[in-house]
């Protein structure tokens, strides 16, 4: 079968599509992955077809609007306002790129950013449709753990269901429902759709949720076609050789702390680097500083801090005492699997949710939103994560449970039962 993944987003959004895509390609299916233009070589390196895209997510994140999003991402009202502004120019090319990539697809695989318009593509093609969110699906549920910004986050409540019904589920449609209907009319030749029809179509998708039940239990009131599979990890360490100087640094003393914000950019990388260096010095720990898109580092660093552009998380994180990161779903999954505490500095979107979840599980300190980040707060969090035996034991135990799961095999089993056969 022809299968197209719509995987717009940063690396953490693309990587699971590559994992599932490779598994499906190994079964003889033709797999195409649509992602931001600079991921094309990476996708093709894993033996998959990379669909042509006009979108450059790094350019979006580095744009003034992207910077506003990152700087105000911890304010839900401002975040939605900035996201809507970005979608004003970005929604149409995303949709038309997706339509071009899916033109011959028999199975369309989308995620929470593309589900609202992917249902129209699958409708036009009469194709089967799978959603593969890495976060709780945008569905109303009584579960506080599985609801973004839940009013009652630590238990089941009808307040959570009402919040999901009237705030969470309409979110995507409110931001670009008009663009979706333009897309249906001008590109697909379909009649306009109401919000109720759109959410009904999304509820009808086969939904594979890509995180561990030990991180968030499945909601008891999810639709029957929504399944929690476990994480989908892409292990790349076998294709990577660590620089000798990195190995010497790691082996020269106690396990370092990894610090980096991955695809989260910043207007003032020098100032952020100074803050992080000061926090590391105050904590008394050694550290590896990952440059990321924010361009952290770039100047002379103290001997107890090693700058690294990037490294496979499955190689790096198990060698660390703790990981300081932005709380993206992919990075968080890798740090949890490694069995080390996570210190979350949420910037945007679901990162706030994951930061709260880490604290609730007791596998990391309380999150420090980026606008509130100071050297003193981060130093205190690093000290807590690296000296609290109970937190370290909880993180190690959770990592063991996650490593025992096989999310890819479970996803393939469900796909075989519901879609392919």
Tell me, which fold does domain 2-231+405-420 have in CATH?
Rossmann fold (3.40.50)
Give pLDDT, residue 153.
93
Give pLDDT, residue 294.
72
Q: Which residue has the higher pLDDT, 275 or 263?
A: 275
Q: Does residue 419 have a pLDDT over 70?
A: no
Q: What is the DSSP code (8-state) at residue 182?
A: H
Q: Does residue 388 have a pLDDT over 90?
A: yes
Let me know: does 98 contact 6? Beta carbons within 8 Å. Answer: yes
Residues 6 or more apart from 32 whose CB is under 8 A from it? 2, 3, 4, 5, 48, 49, 50, 51, 101, 105
Q: How far apart are CA 230 and CA 246, in angstroms?
A: 31
Residues 6 or more apart from 63 whose CB is under 8 A from it? none
Q: How far apart are CA 192 and CA 205, in angstroms?
A: 19
Could you give the percent of the chain with pLDDT greater than 70?
92
Give pLDDT, residue 113.
84
Reported confidence tier of residue 300, pLDDT bands at 50, 70, 90: confident
Place of tokens 């990539």: 101
Give pLDDT, residue 73.
60
Backbone angles phi, psi at 11, to 5 degrees: -55, -40
Q: How far apart are CA 131 and CA 61, in angstroms?
A: 24
DSSP 251-312: HTSSPPEEE--TT---S-HHHHHHHHHHHHHHHT--EEEE-TTTT---S---TTEEEES---
What average pLDDT does range 172-187 have in this prediction?
92
Place of tokens 């350019």: 59
Beta bridge partners of 257: 287, 322
Give pLDDT, residue 349.
79
Residues in the chain, total? 421
List pLDDT tens digits, range 26-46. Answer: 999 999 999 998 899 999 999
Residues 6 or more apart from 182 whose CB is under 8 A from it? 92
Domain 237-403 indexed as CATH 2.40.480.10: no
Give pLDDT, residue 347.
85
pTM for the model stands at 0.93
First to last CA, the chain: 11
Let me know: does 329 contact 212? Beta carbons within 8 Å. Answer: no
Give pLDDT, residue 18.
97
Give pLDDT, residue 69.
65
Q: Where in the chain is the domain with CATH 3.40.50.2000?
A: 2-231+405-420, 237-403
Let me know: does 29 contact 3? Beta carbons within 8 Å. Answer: yes
Q: Which residue has the higher pLDDT, 237 or 386?
A: 386
Beta bridge partners of 108: 4, 129
List pLDDT tens digits, range 318-353. Answer: 999 999 999 999 999 999 999 999 999 998 878 999
Residues 6 or more apart from 174 whose CB is under 8 A from it? none
Mean predicted lDDT score pLDDT of the chain? 91
């Amino acid at each position: 079968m022809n299968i197209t993944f719509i995987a717009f987003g940063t690396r953490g959004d693309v990587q699971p599509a590559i994992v599932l895509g490779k598994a499906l390609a190994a079964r003889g299916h033709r797999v195409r992955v649509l992602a931001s233009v600079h991921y094309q070589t990476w996708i093709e390196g894993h033996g998959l077809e990379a669909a042509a895209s006009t979108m450059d997510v790094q350019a979006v994140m580095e744009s003034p609007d992207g910077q506003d999003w990152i700087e105000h991402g911890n304010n839900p009202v401002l975040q939605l306002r900035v996201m809507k502004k970005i979608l004003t120019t970005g929604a149409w090319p995303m949709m038309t790129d997706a339509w071009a990539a899916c033109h011959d697809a028999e199975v369309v695989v989308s995620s929470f950013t593309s589900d609202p318009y992917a249902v129209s593509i699958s409708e036009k093609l009469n194709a089967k449709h799978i959603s593969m969110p890495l976060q709780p699906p945008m569905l109303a549920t009584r579960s506080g753990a599985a609801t973004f910004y839940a009013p009652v986050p630590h238990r089941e409540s009808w307040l959570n269901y009402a919040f999901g019904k009237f705030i969470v589920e309409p979110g995507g449609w409110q931001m670009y429902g008009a663009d979706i209907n333009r897309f249906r009319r001008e590109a697909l030749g379909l009649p306009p759709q109401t919000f109720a029809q759109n959410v009904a179509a999304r509820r009808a998708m086969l939904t594979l949720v890509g995180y561990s039940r030990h991180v968030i239990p499945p909601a008891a009131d999810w639709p029957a076609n929504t399944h929690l599979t476990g994480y989908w990890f892409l292990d790349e360490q076998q294709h990577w050789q660590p620089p000798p100087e990195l190995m010497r640094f790691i082996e020269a003393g106690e396990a370092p702390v990894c610090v980096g914000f991955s695809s989260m950019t910043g207007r003032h990388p020098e100032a952020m680097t100074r803050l992080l260096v000061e926090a590391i010095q105050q904590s008394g720990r050694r550290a590896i500083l990952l440059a990321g898109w924010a361009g952290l580092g770039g100047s002379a660093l103290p001997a107890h801090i090693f700058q690294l552009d990037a490294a496979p998380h499955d190689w790096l994180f198990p060698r660390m005492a703790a990981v300081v990161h932005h709380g993206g779903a992919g990075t968080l999954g890798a740090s949890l699997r490694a069995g080390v505490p996570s210190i979350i500095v949420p910037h945007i979107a679901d990162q706030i949710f994951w930061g709260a979840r880490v604290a609730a599980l007791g596998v990391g300190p309380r999150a420090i939103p980026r606008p509130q980040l100071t050297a003193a707060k981060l130093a205190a969090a690093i000290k807590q994560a690296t000296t609290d035996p109970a937190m370290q034991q909880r993180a190690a135990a959770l990592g063991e449970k996650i490593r025992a799961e096989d999310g890819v095999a479970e996803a393939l089993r469900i796909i075989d039962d519901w879609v392919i056969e």
